[in-house]
């Protein structure tokens, strides 16, 4: 079996259908609502006949209003719509059906209990419908993960990104790359097998190395995304730091419109990290309020808070550096003598923050307590620093502040997702794509027109590159990865 045949064979054998028939409540219940109970597997038609009657001949994809009976007691449970989806044109790829019932606990329990009495049927485990759709070749792993994200999406931009992914935006891109690597590998195999017969043109290898270089450029461009997709999916971890008493906790409370952090005039009030999530125009933010940073304290609790704050900076995606505007003005002459453009550096030194913890992270300077400034002072401050100004106490400048903050988040998350430019949403995809490039590079470095290595061994590098893409899409994935992916689903999905 040559390499190409093996690949096609592998694609087929991973998509095995399961033997049992599963059922579950698929949409939530509520006293007034309608609930959907879904069945999938080879015994689906049996289940329909057992619940509706032996004579029932379901018309595919048509809704019929029918009475539903308990399969053993024959007592009528409810009356509702039933839909039949013969495989493979169904969500799972198997025969499946849906019963729409009244959403009370009693109706749902009776239906589920009745379905459980039908031979060959068993309750579904969490994510099992989607797992079957994956094994049935209906969804690849990126679409499965997109669906899980869609179920968990909390903001509008997260919903858009998850919807695009669940409908195949990343899948199409990765499948295109997979096919192109397969083609290169197949051409290389052909060259190994037939080059001596002179049926194969000499420039085959030149062409395939050109194609592999193009692939590296495309994959590298996809990787060079400042983690925008992951930030949108996971939320932008935003740490609020600054000297004690500058108003960090007041700022957090104002942003979230709730009294989450304790605010007092005592410097050193916050000690533990206070974390909360918030939705800014569809972009998710995970705020961390931290202990005020200073090096002249001997209070062990405060020192522990400062250590925690510094650790929080390291894991943050965005740093909000708060300072007291009034205090700044009082020091302005001294600061001006050191060069106002160096203010951030001077302030970070005062806070005893090592620049290496900040590295290339995006950071925004925020001047709080502008209610204590005169108009001239405020103008001077805004003209001399690249700063957002606010008064958390009087909510001065709140509207322009929010507009600017929304813009900042949008740019960090790369704006709203589009189908033309799907983004990496999981660290796993990134790792595998980086490895894919590494394998292709090893192949290209070994394979120059002057140095002809053993082609069969070099071909292995292309197979490794291919496996990386397949580990993302699920064409070549171990059960432990699948367990992690499907663990995110609820029962009925
Ligand atoms: N005038 C004025 N006072 C403010 C403003 N924001 C906060 N404050 C006051 O400043 C004091 C400290 O506020 P916090 O929010 O606790 O400050 P913090 O930075 O969290 O302080 P630590 O947790 O101790 O580091 C409180 O008395 C607040 O009411 C503001 O915009 N204007
Ligand atoms: Mg505080």
Q: Which residue's CA is minimally distant from atom 30 of ligand 1?
A: 369
Residue 450 DSSP code: S
d(CA 406, CA 402): 6
Ligand 1 pocket: which of 239, 241, 245 to mutate (most atoms within 8 A of CB): 245
d(CA 196, CA 138): 42
CB 143 within 8 A of CB 151: no
Q: Is the CB of 253 under 6 A from ligand 1?
A: no
d(CA 139, CA 93): 10
Least Cα distance to 401 among 366, 374, 377 occurs for: 366
d(CA 357, CA 316): 10
User: Ligand nearest 368 Cα, by number?
Assistant: 1
Q: Which residue's CA is minimally distant from atom 9 of ligand 1?
A: 247
Q: pLDDT value at position 195?
A: 59
User: Ligand nearest 261 Cα, by number?
Assistant: 2
Q: Is the CB of 238 under 6 A from ligand 1?
A: no
CA atoms within 13 A on the CB side of 176: 11
Ligand 1 pocket: which of 393, 395, 396 to mutate (most atoms within 8 A of CB): 393
**The two three-digit tokens of residue 476, written as one number:** 């070549």
Q: pLDDT value at position 15?
A: 37
Tokens 């009082």 belong to: 330
Residue ranges for the chain with pLDDT beneath 70: 1-19, 27-32, 192-202, 448-453, 476-482, 489-492
Count of residues in the chain: 493
The three-state DSSP-derived secondary structure of 322-381 is EEEHHHHHHCHHHHHHHCHHHHHHHHHHHCCCCHHHHCCCCEEEEEECHHHCCHHHHHHH
Helix H segments across 247-299?
248-256
Assigned architecture for domain 165-226+420-486: Up-down Bundle (1.20)
User: Ligand nearest 263 Cα, by number?
Assistant: 1
3-state SS, residue 442? helix
User: Ligand nearest 246 Cα, by number?
Assistant: 1
Domain with CATH 1.20.120.430 in the chain: 165-226+420-486
Q: Is the CB of 271 under 6 A from ligand 1?
A: no
- Nearest atom (ligand 1) to Cα of 262: 16
CB 281 within 8 A of CB 158: no
CATH superfamily for domain 231-412: P-loop containing nucleotide triphosphate hydrolases (3.40.50.300)
Q: pLDDT value at position 451?
A: 60
DSSP line for 65-76: EEEEE-TTT--E
Q: pLDDT value at position 202?
A: 65
CA of 312 to the centre of ligand 2 (A): 15
User: Ligand nearest 267 Cα, by number?
Assistant: 1
Q: Which residue's CA is minimally distant from atom 7 of ligand 1?
A: 247
Assigned architecture for domain 17-135: 2-Layer Sandwich (3.30)
Q: pLDDT value at position 358?
A: 83
Residues 298-330: pLDDT tens digits?
889 988 999 999 999 999 999 999 999 999 998
Residue 420 DSSP code: S
Least Cα distance to 219 among 165, 274, 177, 163 occurs for: 177
CB 238 within 8 A of CB 318: yes
Q: Is the CB of 477 under 6 A from ligand 1?
A: no
**The two three-digit tokens of residue 130, written as one number:** 């989607």
CA of 271 to the centre of ligand 2 (A): 8
Distances (CA, A) of 202 to 208, 236, 354: 11, 52, 57
CB 44 within 8 A of CB 124: no
- Nearest atom (ligand 1) to Cα of 368: 31
CA of 268 to the centre of ligand 1 (A): 11
Supply angle C-alpha 473, 236, 486, rounded to 5.
30
- Nearest atom (ligand 1) to Cα of 253: 15
- Nearest atom (ligand 1) to Cα of 322: 19
Domain with CATH 3.30.1360.120 in the chain: 17-135
Domain with CATH 3.40.50.300 in the chain: 231-412
Residues 399-446: pLDDT tens digits?
999 999 999 999 999 999 999 999 999 999 999 999 999 999 999 888
């Amino acid at each position: 079996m040559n390499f190409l045949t093996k690949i096609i064979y592998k694609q087929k054998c991973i998509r095995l259908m399961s033997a049992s028939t599963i059922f579950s409540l698929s949409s939530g219940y509520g006293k007034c609502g309608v609930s959907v109970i879904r069945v999938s597997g080879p015994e689906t038609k049996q289940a329909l006949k057992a619940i509706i009657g032996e004579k029932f001949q379901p018309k595919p994809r048509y809704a019929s209003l029918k009475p539903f009976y308990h399969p053993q007691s024959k007592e009528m449970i409810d009356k509702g719509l039933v839909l039949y989806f013969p495989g493979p044109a169904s969500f799972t790829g198997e025969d499946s059906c849906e019963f729409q019932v009244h959403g009370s606990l009693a109706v749902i329990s009776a239906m589920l209990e009745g379905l459980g009495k039908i031979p060959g049927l068993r309750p579904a485990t969490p994510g099992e419908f989607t797992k079957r759709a994956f094994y049935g070749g209906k969804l690849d792993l990126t679409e499965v993960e997109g669906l899980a994200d869609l179920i968990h999406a909390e903001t509008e931009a997260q919903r858009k990104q998850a919807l695009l992914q669940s409908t195949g935006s990343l899948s199409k891109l990765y499948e295109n790359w997979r096919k192109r690597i397969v083609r290169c590998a197949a051409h290389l195999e052909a060259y190994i097998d037939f080059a001596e017969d002179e049926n194969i043109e000499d420039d085959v290898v030149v062409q395939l190395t050109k194609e592999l270089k193009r692939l590296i450029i495309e994959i590298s461009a996809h990787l060079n995304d400042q983690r925008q997709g992951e930030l949108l999916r996971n939320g932008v971890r935003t740490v609020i730091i600054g000297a004690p008493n500058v108003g960090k906790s007041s700022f957090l409370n104002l942003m979230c419109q709730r009294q989450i952090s304790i605010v007092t005039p005592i410097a050193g009030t916050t000690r533990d990290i206070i974390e909360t999530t918030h939705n800014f125009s569809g972009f998710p933010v995970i705020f961390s309020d931290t202990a005020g940073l200073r090096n002249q304290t001997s209070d062990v609790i405060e020192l522990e808070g400062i250590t925690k704050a510094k650790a929080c900076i390291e894991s943050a995606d965005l740093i909000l550096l708060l300072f007291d505007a009034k205090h700044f003005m009082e020091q302005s002459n001294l600061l001006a003598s050191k060069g106002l453009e160096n203010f951030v550096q001077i302030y970070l030194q005062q806070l005893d923050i090592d620049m290496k913890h900040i590295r290339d992270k995006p950071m925004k300077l925020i001047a709080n307590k502008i209610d204590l400034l005169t108009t001239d002072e405020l103008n001077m401050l805004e003209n001399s620093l690249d700063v957002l100004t606010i008064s958390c106490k009087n909510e001065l400048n709140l509207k322009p502040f929010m507009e600017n903050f929304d813009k900042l988040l949008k740019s960090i998350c790369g704006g709203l997702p589009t189908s033309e430019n799907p983004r990496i949403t999981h660290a796993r995809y990134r790792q595998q794509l980086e490895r894919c490039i590494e394998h292709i590079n090893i192949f290209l470095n070994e394979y120059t027109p002057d140095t002809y290595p053993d082609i069969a061994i070099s071909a292995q590098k292309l197979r490794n590159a291919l496996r990386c893409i397949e580990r993302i899409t699920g064409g070549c994935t171990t059960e432990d990865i699948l367990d992690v992916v499907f663990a995110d689903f609820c029962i009925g999905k």
